[in-house]
């Protein structure tokens, strides 16, 4: 079988058994094709590579100045691919198993202040008509529920249960979670639903995939608003709000959701569940916002804390 065929089978497995998103599959495909090209340049086939061959590939990553995060992702692709070949009986070992990627400095997430978020909502409040109602619903759901952008744009119409005041979200790997919604988010969605049919393709008003989604699209193949289009909407709002474009993205609003909850007293475990993180260590990156708050708690509450002069 050709290398491209092996990679295609691997991607099919990741989609069917692991529930990998299209974005993840595209990244794995690019990474494996790059690794294959590097090995081919040294006269080695991807399927037959040994640990020393892959070590040379990692060295090439460093020599080419690839970011540590990119090199780590490509190493992860290697390990998964060779595990797949072992499962398929194509190899008896995983030559990437013992390899270690570059040490990565864990960067803190970019965060919007509560004032920045208020400015974005002021900007969306200036929009009128059907698009204004839709964009308000998008923003309210994103910030109220801390959704990933892929989760937001692909929400099924039935995901929101107004009587329960909550949102059912299917996240990475098909994992489901329940997120309570604010009254403002519920009101925004209710107002938007009154004009939702305006965003359906004419032929889909009776039947079609777009009818399934809360935010349908007239042109997107998937039937729902694309991540790229929502990112454009957010950039337009940032411009009106007077915020730097590089500072605002869908994922930054997800960071803001988590950070603002923790800053106002939410516990880490609750935020983990709301975000859909499988491991609390992923959520702990947001605890940097608690430093000042914890300092204030000690100064105000500890019996030995020095009291200000009266």
Residues annotated as catalytic are 148, 172, 251, 254, 277, 286
- Residue 162's CB is within 10 A of a number of other CB atoms, namely 11
Q: Give the DSSP H or E segment for 176.
A: strand 176-180
φ/ψ (deg, to 5) at 175: -75, 135
Contact 153, 234 (CB under 8 A): no
φ/ψ (deg, to 5) at 2: -70, 160
Task: Tell me how far CA of residue 292 lies from CA of 204, 252, 283, 287, 297, in angstroms.
Answer: 52, 21, 18, 10, 9
Task: Tell me how far CA of residue 69 lies from CA of 22, 65, 292, in angstroms.
Answer: 20, 11, 29
Residues in CB range of 20: below 8 A, 6 or more apart: 11, 14, 28
- How far, in Å, CA of 106 to CA of 143, rounded? 24
Give me Rg for the CA atoms of the chain.
23
- How far, in Å, CA of 155 to CA of 108, rounded? 28
């Amino acid at each position: 079988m050709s290398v491209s065929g092996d990679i295609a089978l691997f991607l099919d497995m990741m989609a069917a058994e692991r529930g990998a998103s299209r974005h993840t599959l595209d990244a794995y495909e690019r990474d494996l094709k790059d690794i294959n090209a590097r090995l081919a340049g040294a006269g080695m086939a991807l399927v037959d590579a040994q640990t020393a061959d892959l070590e040379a590939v990692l060295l090439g990553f460093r020599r080419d100045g690839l970011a540590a995060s990119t090199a780590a992702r490509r190493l992860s692709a290697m390990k998964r691919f060779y595990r797949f070949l072992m499962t398929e009986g194509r190899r008896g070992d995983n030559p990437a198993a013992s390899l270690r990627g570059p040490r990565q400095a864990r960067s803190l997430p970019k965060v919007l202040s509560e004032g920045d978020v208020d400015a974005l909502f002021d900007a969306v409040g200036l929009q009128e008509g059907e698009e204004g109602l839709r964009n308000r619903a998008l923003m309210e759901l994103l910030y109220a529920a801390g959704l990933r952008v892929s989760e937001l744009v692909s929400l099924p119409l039935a995901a929101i249960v107004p009587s329960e005041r909550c949102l059912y979200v299917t996240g990475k790997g098909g994992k489901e979670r329940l997120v309570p919604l604010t009254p403002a988010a519920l009101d925004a969605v209710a107002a938007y639903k009154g004009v939702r049919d305006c965003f359906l393709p004419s032929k889909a008003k009776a039947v079609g995939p777009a009818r399934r989604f809360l935010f349908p699209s007239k042109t997107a193949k998937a039937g729902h608003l694309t991540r790229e289009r929502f990112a454009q909407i957010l950039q337009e709002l940032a411009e009106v709000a007077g915020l730097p474009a590089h500072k605002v993205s869908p994922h930054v609003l997800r960071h803001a959701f988590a950070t603002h909850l923790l800053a106002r007293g939410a516990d880490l475990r609750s935020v983990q569940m709301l975000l859909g993180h499988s491991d609390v260590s992923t959520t702990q990156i947001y605890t940097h916002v608690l430093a000042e708050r914890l300092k204030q708690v000690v100064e105000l509450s500890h019996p030995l804390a020095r009291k200000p002069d009266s």
